[in-house]
A = this chain, B = another copy of it.
Amino acid sequence: MTDRLSQQFTFLQEADRLKTVLRASRLADGSRRENSAEHSWHVALYAMVLADQAPAGVALDRVIRMLILHDIVEIDTGDVPLHAGDGTAHDAASHAEAKAAERLFGLLPADQADAFRALWSEFEANETPDARFAKALDRVPPVMLNIANGGGSWTEYDVTLEQFDQRVGRKITGAAPGIWSWIRPRVLQFFTARA
């Protein structure tokens, strides 16, 4: 049991580094860029608050666990901004992320390494209802932050409304249509006012 705890604490100490991984988004008050650890907390809170937007059959506690784990690989890879490289950089990063998942979850006892990696892989594959809802939620906080701070990563990457619909909307519309219906007019208003 002592060895097991030592492995678990090694992983938990390594996980601390996620607090130093910076994302493209800035905080709502615009004061600084957001890190991936505080983002992970925020999106887990989104899941708790927006629970009644989950399609029937979604297990919300699995979604919350997925979201707690979803960015840990960035300790090795860094965050790949959604809008970087004309929106293609994000998809290209998947090999490096799989390697990072091997190393990082591999710090844990074998049973947990397998379980955590499986949950992370399920999220990445975006096929099950739980993963699809989790992925949809993951797209929403940066939208709210960009609106609050006056443009944020949309300004930095010169994102058009069409690109927003393609890169962000396509992940939200199907899995969380109620959220999309609420947020899309607000995004339109923001882009229109800015034009």
Contact = CB atoms under 8 A, between A and B. Distances in A.
B12 A45 contact: yes
A44 B72 CA distance: 13
Interface residues of A, number: 50
Interface string A10-51: 011101111110000001110100110110111011101110
A167 to B, nearest CB: 21
A20 B33 CA distance: 11
Interface string A97-115: 0000000000010001000
Interface of A: 1-2, 4-6, 8-9, 11-13, 15-20, 27-29, 31, 34-35, 37-38, 40-42, 44-46, 48-50, 52-53, 61, 64-65, 68-69, 108, 112, 116, 141, 144-145, 148, 178-179, 182
10 contacts: A1-B178, A12-B45, A20-B29, A37-B38, A41-B68, A44-B44, A49-B108, A49-B112, A64-B65, A64-B68
Given A9-B144, A13-B28, A61-B64, 17 more contacts: A4-B52, A6-B182, A12-B42, A12-B49, A16-B29, A17-B29, A18-B38, A37-B42, A41-B68, A44-B44, A44-B68, A45-B69, A48-B68, A48-B69, A48-B116, A49-B108, A64-B64
